[in-house]
Amino acid sequence: MKVVADLDVCIGAGMCVLTAPAVFDQSADDGSVRVLVDAVPAGEARLVREAVDLCPSAALEIEDEAG
């Protein structure tokens, strides 16, 4: 599983970091999301789905669901 972020719409609310801190971080400059991993570890998949769902600006998307 791969998760990608659209930095044009991200508002830096930090819901992703709150939900899946092993996968997401926020830029210290403008709070925008940083995806920390190329492939989401299997153990984080549920939390990443929750983070994608919770994102208030719909900035996160899951690509390559199976991979």
Where do contacts with other proteins occur on this chain (CB under 8 A)?
9, 11-15, 17-19, 21, 25-32, 50, 53-54, 56-58
State the minimum distance, in angstroms, from the CB of residue 66 to other proteins: 26
Q: CA distances (Å), 7 to each of 37, 42, 46, 53, in order? A: 16, 25, 22, 16
10: Cβ–Cβ under 8 A, 6 or more apart, which residues? Answer: 32, 33, 57, 59
State the minimum distance, in angstroms, from the CB of residue 67 to other proteins: 27
State the minimum distance, in angstroms, from the CB of residue 25 to other proteins: 8
